[in-house]
Structure 1
Amino acid sequence: MSPTLFVMTYEPSDGFGPLAQEHGPAHVARLHEFHDRGVLVHAGPLQDPFDGTAIGVFTSREAAEEFIAGDPFVSGGVVARWTVRGWDDLFTGPRD
C-alpha cells in the first residue's frame, strides 16, 4: 500500500501580489526549513493561469499544520483560505 502524503492548498487573498513580495523572503526561508527537515516533499504555485494558488506536499498532517501556523504568507494576509487533505500517492513506495 502506498503511503499517505498530505497536500496543502493555498488560495490567495485579493490583491495578494504586494503582500507576497513583502513576505516572500520569510515564506521561502520557511519552505526551505521544512524541506531540509524532510517533511516538505514538493511546493510551488500552480500555473496556467498563475493566480496565486499554490500547493505543498508534506509527509504528515502535523507537519503541514505546523507549516501553516507559522507561515508569514498566512499571518501576513497573502493567503485567504487553506486546506490540508490526505493523498494516497500511487507511485511512492515499492511497486507491487
Structure 2
Amino acid sequence: MKYVLFYAAAPDAPRTAPAHFPAHQVLLDEFHGRGDLLMVGTFTDLVGRGAMAIFTNAEAAEEFAARDPFVAHGVVASHEVCEWNEVLA
C-alpha cells in the first residue's frame, strides 16, 4: 500500500510558487532522505491538474502537507491523501 498526496494548485500558483520553492525543496529533501517520499511532480497542466506525491505511509503524507510552505502560503488550494494499491513495483 502506498499513499498519494494530491495537490490542487491555486489559480495564481505559477506566479506564487517560485517564492516558496526553496523551502518546499528543503521539505522534499527531508522526506525523501528519510525514505517516506518516493516520487513527486507536477502535472503538465499545473493549474488544471495540480501535482502529486507518493509516500510510504499516510502519516508522512499528512505531515508533509501540514508543514509544506506551498500549503501555508496558498500556492496549494486544497489537498487530499488517498490510499493506492500499487500493482507493479
Does the TM-score normalized on the shorter chain lie above 0.5? yes
Q: Does 1:10 align with 2:18?
A: no
In structure 2, runs of 5+ residues without a counterpart are none
Out of 32, 35, 38, which is 2:32 matched to?
Answer: 35
Which one has a larger percent helix, Structure 1 or Structure 2? 2
What's the Cα RMSD here?
A: 1.2
TM-score, scaled to structure 1: 0.86
Distance in 1, Cα, partners of 2:15 & 2:24: 14
Match of 2:63 in 1: 66
Distance in 2, Cα, partners of 1:50 & 1:81: 13
Distance in 1, Cα, partners of 2:70 & 2:63: 13
Superposed displacement of residue 15, structure 1:
1.0
Match of 1:85 in 2: 82
Superposed displacement of residue 13, structure 1:
0.9
Q: SS of the residue aligned with 1:91?
A: coil
- Select the structure of larger CA radius of gyration: 1
Superposed displacement of residue 50, structure 1:
4.0
| Count of aligned pairs between the two proteins | 88
> How much identity, in percent, do the aligned residues show?
40
What amino acid is aligned across from residue 73 of structure 1 in structure 2? F
